[in-house]
Amino acid sequence: MTARPALPDARGRFGLYGGRYVPEVLIPALDELAAAWAELREDPGFRGELDALLRDYVGRPSPLTYAARLSDALGYRIYLKREDLNHTGAHKINNTLGQVLLAKRLGKSRVIAETGAGQHGVATATAAALFGLPCVVYMGEEDTHRQAPNVERMRLLGAEVIPVTAGQRTLKEAINEAMRDWAATVRHTHYVFGTAAGPSPFPALVRDLQRVIGDEAREQFREAEGRDPDAVVACVGGGSNAIGTFAAFIGAPGVTLYGIEAGGRGAGVGEHCRSLTLGEPGVLHGAYSYLLQDADGQVAATHSISAGLDYPGVGPEHSYLKDAGLARYEAATDREALEGFRALATLEGILPALEPAHAIGWLLRRPLPEGSRVLVCLSGRGDKDLETVRRALAAAEGAGA
Amino acid sequence: MPDLEAVLRARREAGGRAFVPYVTGGLPGVTPDLLRGLAEAGADAIEVGIPFSDPVMDGGVIQEASRRALEAGARPLEVVATVAEAGLDLPVVLMTYYNPVLRLGEERFLEEAVAAGVAGVIVPDLPVDEAAGWRERCLARGVAAVFLAAPGSSPERFREIAAAARGFVYCVSTYGVTGEREELAGTAEEVVAALRPLTDVPLLVGVGIGTPEQAAAACASADGATVGSAIVRRLLAEDPAGALRLARAFRDAVPR
């Protein structure tokens, strides 16, 4: 394996990308968080507490499932890393338990979060309940409708859910509002950032906490196949499940990493969330990274059938991996995601979340050589999406009739 | 173009305090006439915002003003053109987020700003440690790169900000985003007190100053006050005359 410099560097950069472009009032909290994580990430006490929670509360290690019928249908050997089987139904809990533990160590008495699909909100509300901290979750109003079951879950877990009515009323606006809350409450509040984006140290912190996905999967894959996969595939919105999976494989010989963005309904402005494949570098939410924006630097509108991928930016490490040729980025459309959803449901008996359904949908194109050994991060389960899928399938059938 | 720092220092040396109103450029009603009106109301300098789609440092009023400005088709260089057209003989400071600057390119942005007679630029999401190149470019073109200082910063951080300061230091009065508050936060004085021994550059308090009384209180220790949301709120209500009246009331409260 080629030796790579440890990233990010001291300035929170992954090559050109990352940094911390935030108002001055947040700098002390980011400094404090970075220092705490530098100290605790290798601390046996902290690690032990987190590992015990991941085992006894989340149910880790999550299984690696051989998808036999899907494999037969496509001519690959496909393994699914089952983050959908985690407590709360997605990979998000890996991050929130770590961050809430960290918040406790920092003496913070309140946590806030943003959420798109609601999975991160549920995972934060869960961790907050477990540790007895009050929790406020900002969620775009549009997302509170399309992911209504998760709003109920958060409220039942004792969190306050605040619908955000600005702009497109989705994830981007939820992050804006959470950052405003944090600016006002930063002395006693920790912002549990949900994806591997945002100002430094969040991209590295979230990656480190999600890396358990890739580390487990690599070991499990070697046990099953006696070797590493040829391809590792994960969906990318902000990119936390992808970076957590990729982290164990970056630079591994013979392994190609594929990040699948939400292709929405087309390549026109406002029709997709393809920041890496159609965007240009810019600054949003504290980091320099690929971004969907107009000629004036205004952030562009986005669309995806999946709320969790509906975001115009992306974590800075993905931008670095793209430019360095260390990972490849592709897109799957809404329709392909639905096909992926249906394929996994009918061939494997698994209802995936619409986010990882993009990764499955992309594989349905058979983009890899015959016989490829493939690891897919199945980042979450599809219960939250049943209404969206039902409507989309009904509309597609109506249009096809 | 009048020198921002020189103008603010002159005000201080004469025993007065500076009054610096903010308006969102591109918002319908924010015309060259309105800028001239603010000058006539006694502003020492004027901050003109270039609206951004995701203003995380701003509260409800300026968010709404930014939204309306963008909806009306506001573009960065048109806002700069409005400044040029106003032909003011007081310093104008542009305030915008980093991405519009980056998109145009720091160099091109500054070139256009200088051509329009702009004296300074505030980029609230570009803290000193990300601004090495920006500071050099601003210095080379004689534009003041204004930085924010906020409550809670470490002494080391205050030193860094003081060392970088040009034009004035924008002392954020409180934890939080722009917008009027019931009371002026006590933290305003703390930020000013922390910076005072570190720099001779004028210290202006901003964020959360909603009334002339609060501006006067802030000016007990600071060298001036910047006022945004209270004025912009009148503009959102399509009451430019009210905005100018309020500006005059602020001017009267802030000693000349």
ipTM of the complex: 0.96
Beta bridge partners of A234: A259
Is B126 an interface residue toward A (CB < 8 Å)? yes
In terms of CA atoms, which chain B residue is nearest residue A30?
A: B153
In terms of CA atoms, which chain B residue is nearest residue A22?
A: B125
A69, burial (CB in 10 Å: exposed 0-12, middle 13-18, buried 19+): middle
| Nearest residue to B27 (alpha-carbon basis) of B84, B56, B77, B66 | B66
Contact list, B60 vs chain A (CB under 8 Å): none
C-alpha A142/C-alpha A146 separation (Å) is 7
- Residues 6 or more apart whose Cβ sits within 8 Å of residue A63: A82, A85, A220
Q: Which sequence spans correspond to the domains of chain B?
A: 4-249
Chain B 66-95, CB below 8 Å of chain A: which residues? 67, 70, 75-76
Beta bridge partners of A282: A289
pLDDT by position in tens, chain A (length 401): 444 568 999 999 999 999 999 999 999 999 999 999 999 999 999 999 999 999 999 999 999 999 999 999 999 999 999 999 999 999 999 999 999 999 999 999 999 999 998 999 999 999 999 999 999 999 999 999 988 999 999 999 999 999 999 988 999 999 999 999 999 999 999 999 999 999 999 999 999 999 999 999 999 999 999 999 999 999 999 999 999 999 999 999 999 999 999 999 999 999 999 999 999 999 999 999 999 999 999 999 999 999 999 999 999 999 999 999 999 999 999 999 999 999 999 999 999 999 999 999 999 999 999 999 999 999 999 999 999 999 998 988 877 54
- Give the 3-state secondary structure of residue A47: helix
H/E stretch holding A256: strand A256-264
Cis peptide bond N-terminal to B2, omega within 30: no
Answer whether A167 sits within 8 Å of B67, measured CB to CB: yes
Of B101, B130, B172, the CB nearest to A20: B130
Q: Which amino acid is at B26?
A: G
Reply yes or no on domain B4-249 having CATH 3.20.20.70.
yes
C-alpha B239/C-alpha A97 separation (Å) is 50
Is B147 an interface residue toward A (CB < 8 Å)? yes
Give the closest-approach CA distance of A316 to chain B in angstroms. 15
Asked whether A113 and A97 are in contact (CB, 8 A), the reply is no
Is A172 an interface residue toward B (CB < 8 Å)? yes
Is B149 an interface residue toward A (CB < 8 Å)? yes
| Nearest residue to B254 (alpha-carbon basis) of B210, B222, B226, B212 | B212
| Residue B15 DSSP one-character state | T
Q: How confident is the model at residue B77 (pLDDT cuts 50, 70, 90)?
A: very high
Rg (CA), chain A: 19
Is B175 an interface residue toward A (CB < 8 Å)? yes
Chain A 343-372, CB below 8 Å of chain B: which residues? none
Answer whether B54 sits within 8 Å of A186, measured CB to CB: no
**How far, CA to CA in Å, does A111 sit from each of A65, A102, A128, A178, A189?**
35, 11, 7, 10, 5
In degrees to the nearest 10, what's the CA dihedral of A94, A98, A104, A110? -50
Helix%, strand%, coil% for chain A, nearest 5? 45, 20, 35
Of B55, B125, B161, the CB nearest to A22: B125
Contact list, B162 vs chain A (CB under 8 Å): none
In terms of CA atoms, which chain B residue is nearest residue A312?
A: B54
Is A171 an interface residue toward B (CB < 8 Å)? no
- The structure tokens 């504290």 sit at A286
Task: Show which residues of A are catalytic.
Answer: 92, 114, 379
Q: What is the pTM of this model?
A: 0.97
Q: How many CB atoms are located within 10 Å of the residue A141 CB? A: 16
